[in-house]
Amino acid sequence: MDSPWAPGLVNVVDVEATCWAGAPPPGEVSEIIEVGLTVVDLAAGARLARHRILVRPARSRVSAFCTELTGLTQPEVDRGVTFAEACRLLAAEHGAGARPWASWGDYDRHQFTRQCQAGRTPYPFSRRHTNAKAAFTEAHGLRKRPGMAQALEIAGLRLEGRHHRGEDDAWNIAALVLHLSAQGRWPAPAAHFA
C-alpha cells in the first residue's frame, strides 16, 4: 500500500446502499452494502488502485429494486463484512483517516456519518472531504449539478464498468477528479466534522 501521507494522494469513495422503489419496509433502514474506493495520485495524474468492500447489512435486506439498480444480491452481500469491520479496513488498509477524500455529492459522507453514529462506530475518514459534483459543476459553469454519467459525457470521458456499482463508480469519479486536476480546477478539500 502507498503511504497514506504521500502528498497528492486522494481516496475517491462511492457507496451503494440498500434501497427500495418506495418507502423502506417496516423496521428497515438504508445501509451501506458496498464501498468502492479508488486511490488517485493528483501529482502523477493517475488512478493507482481500485478496491471494493462488500458490507453485510444488519437492519435491512437487498430488495429486487436494489438488485436491479446495483446488480448486488442478498446472498452476495451476506458474504460481506460488518459495517464496523468495513470502517476498520478503510482506516487500516486504505489510509482513510489520513488522506483527503472525495465523493460525488455529499450522500456518501452523510450515509457514513449516520451509520457510524447509529452503530457507535468510529468514523473512518479524514475531515478533509471534497464534493466532486460541486467542484465539477463550478469548474464547468453549469447551473444544475449533473449526475456522474452526464458529467463523464460533458468531460468527454467514457463510463467504465457498471453504473451504480460502488467500485466502478469510484473509478469513474476518479477520472473526473483527474480531469479537473489537469485543468487546475481541483479545489483543496474542505474540513467537515463527522
Amino acid at 131: N
Domain boundaries, the chain: 9-191
Question: Which residue has 468502492 as its cell numbers?
Answer: 36
* Contact yes or no for 151/139 (Cβ under 8 A): no
Q: What is the pTM of this model?
A: 0.94
pLDDT for residue 1: 46
Taking only the tens place, the pLDDT of each residue in 17-35 is 999 999 999 999 999 999 9
Q: Is 79 exposed, middle or buried (0-12, 13-18, 19+ CB in 10 A)?
A: exposed
Taking only the tens place, the pLDDT of each residue in 98-111 is 999 999 999 999 99
- Angstrom CA distances, 180 to 88, 129, 130, 140, 184, stand at 30, 16, 12, 9, 6
Cell numbers for 77, please give them. Answer: 452481500
pLDDT for residue 19: 98
The C-alpha atoms of residue 67 and residue 74 are separated, in whole angstroms, by 8
* Contact yes or no for 47/39 (Cβ under 8 A): yes
Per-residue pLDDT band for 46 (boundaries 50, 70, 90) equals very high
pLDDT for residue 190: 72
9-191 domain in CATH 3.30.420.10?
yes
Taking only the tens place, the pLDDT of each residue in 111-129 is 999 999 999 999 999 999 9
